[in-house]
Structure 1
Amino acid sequence: DPNYNPNPNITSPHQLNVHFLPVNRSEGNNDTNPATQNPLLSGINLVTPFLDLNTIYGISDQDAMERLRDTSKNRGKLKTHIVNGQEFPPKNSSDGSYVWGTFERAYTIFTFAIQTIWIREHNRLCDELYQKHGNSWTDEQYFQEARRWTTAFYQKAIAEEYIGAILGRPLPAYQNYNPNLIPDEYGDTLYDLALNDIKNLTLVEQLGLERVLWSMILQRQEEVDIFLSDSTKKLVNFDNNLYDLTAFDIIRSRDR
């Protein structure tokens, strides 16, 4: 595809006249396949594929304690940035950027709004728990209990509402966790495109969370199909280069 090949004269050694993108293998651990005892390259990923809200809770307990938790009032709350009396994700004091639980930040005002909801829900639960337990609980107890409830609400919403709506049918009833599943094998946009330089997430603060959420509710989602939009296949990054996110997804899935 000449759109993505900086040198149209480069062709694949295995198939003539087919342009290709050079790609580096991702880093991995040199493990052993327990079934065959053959070498096995397992991928390294700092972010889990589980529905654990790591976007607001961080990738480790230490990470959360250092960057995300507000321990000043002993109520287990998450840090926030207050605008007009409303809670929003915290900001970095050095450059004013938003602080997230993972390096994959909210790429649109809509994902920003959703993450704001879960931060507020966590802190609301902390206030509710404090009314019941007062100073008899520690900051850690409040944090972990609110985290359990918030994560459970999140998992329930995705499993019982969102996935069913996308598939067009409800998921079957939960039976039991399958320990043979390999959680490392999952698909996502694995290529980090530093989109912070070309978006304005402060629109949620300016417009208000309710207004953004109403726009999401009233705008009908397009039907899920097998077609890909040009904005996905020909995304212009901040360095003015074109990137095919679909190709990167396929490559990384095969790589893993």
Structure 2
Amino acid sequence: MRPGMNRELRFKDVGVAAATDAEDAPPSYADGVYMMAGQDRPSPRKLSRILMKGKDGMPSRKNRTALLVFFGQMVSSEILMASEMGCPIEMHKINVEKCDEMYDADCSGEKYMPFYRAGYDATTGQSPNMPREQINSKTSWIDGSFVYSTSEAWVNTMRSFSNGTLRTDENGMPPRNKERVPIMNKPSPHLFKTLSPERMYLLGDERTNQNPALLSFGILFFRWHNKVALRAQEEHPDWSDEEVFQRARRIVIATLQNVIMYEYLPAFLGDTVDPYKGYRPDVHPGISHVFQSAAFRFGHSMIPPGLYRRDSQCNYKRTVSGDLALRLCATWGTRT
């Protein structure tokens, strides 16, 4: 059974992992089948310079911290993975204007930004009656896939099979990925090579090691599972490992659902979310193209250039390398 199946009463395969994105608007390919549209429109880089140019690190008017941004990234990882490049790779060029202050400082007029098209269902994109459809590799449900993955083999690698807990090292932290589970492993471009996946933490989502903030949430919910499992074991000493694990898993998923719906969304939207009133068969639970490719990308404009850390006395702490803040860029891939 595919992860996420049978959670929609009408269509058992809606919202499952590796499902095609939901359609909320007609396709707009240049040829109506698969070719990229917008070749005659302004470059995305030009629009970015016009609309998004400004100072970095500006404070929030609503007193929100970087926690809001990266919790949002965790929510995205929980329900969405649809922008990763396909196979074979399809690379296109985003034009960079001559004398662009960041990408063409020497005014060569020959610079461009590489753009890789997302993976898609290979059975689509062959005719106007079957245009290309992108794939969401995660379930669209808030079902804890960020914590437990969408693979039974993957989560079994994480489990201790003792008292319903997940495996830890001697310090109670997630173990390193000695089993070489296929975790995202993208070092800085200047290295021109892949690095060992064994240096990563073994967690439920392949992207969790991407940056220190997202990794913090991965470790937090990992350890929360073990805490809940120990409580369940104390309350029900006669339960098997499987019973304790599934009880803890349900509570962790419920925690995620509650925090996302009734704390994160109100903090972001500035308005409360109505209490759950029951199943609504008219609401499609899948992830739409517009949502995954545009609407939920708002968070990219909120990412700060770095993260400050403070001690118990609220004093700023320097990083291991002596910097004032943790940098949030590709260099993180070299320091894990």
Q: TM-score range by the shorter chain?
A: 0.5 to 0.7
- Residue by residue, what CA displacement relative to the aligned partner does 1:15-56 show, whole Å, maximum 9, x if unpaired? xxxx8966545311647xxxxxx5365432322232222122
Q: 1:82 is matched with which residue?
A: 170
Greater shift in the superposed pair: 158-167 or 43-52: 43-52
Matched, 1:93 2:178: yes
Task: Give TM-score, length-normalised by structure 1.
Answer: 0.57
Give how far 1:140 is off.
Answer: 1.3
> Is this contact kept in 2: 1:47–1:102, CA < 8 A?
no
Indicate how the Cα distance of structure 1 residues 238 and 183 shifts in structure 2: closer, same or farther if over 3 A, else same: same
Q: 1:219 is matched with which residue?
A: none
Matched, 1:103 2:206: yes
Task: Give TM-score, length-normalised by structure 2.
Answer: 0.45
Q: 1:139 is matched with which residue?
A: 241
- Residue by residue, what CA displacement relative to the aligned partner does 1:70-92 show, whole Å, maximum 9, x if unpaired? 11x2x111122333xxx222212
Indicate how the Cα distance of structure 1 residues 158 and 113 shifts in structure 2: closer, same or farther if over 3 A, else same: same
Q: How far apart are the structure 1 equivalents of 2:332 and 2:199?
A: 19
Matched AA of 1:49: S
Give the number of aligned pairs.
183
Over the residues paired in the alignment, what is the CA RMSD in angstroms?
3.9
Matched, 1:62 2:153: yes
Say which SS state the counterpart of residue 140 (structure 2) adopts. coil
> Is this contact kept in 2: 1:29–1:44, CA < 8 A?
no
Indicate how the Cα distance of structure 1 residues 30 and 93 shifts in structure 2: closer, same or farther if over 3 A, else same: closer
Matched AA of 2:119: S
- Residue by residue, what CA displacement relative to the aligned partner does 1:123-149 show, whole Å, maximum 9, x if unpaired? 111111111221x32221111110001
Q: 2:62 is matched with which residue?
A: none
Of 248, 267, 278, 1:176 maps to 278
The alignment-based identity, stated in percent, is 22
Tell me, which stretches of 5 or more residues in structure 1 are unaligned? 10-18, 32-37, 190-198, 200-206, 216-230, 240-256
Give how far 1:182 is off.
Answer: 4.1
- Residue by residue, what CA displacement relative to the aligned partner does 1:187-223 show, whole Å, maximum 9, x if unpaired? 256xxxxxxxxx9xxxxxxx9xx969x89xxxxxxxx
Greater shift in the superposed pair: 139-148 or 46-55: 46-55
Give how far 1:122 is off.
Answer: 1.0
Q: How far apart are the structure 1 equivalents of 2:211 and 2:118?
A: 29
Q: 1:158 is matched with which residue?
A: 260
Give how far 1:165 is off.
Answer: 0.7
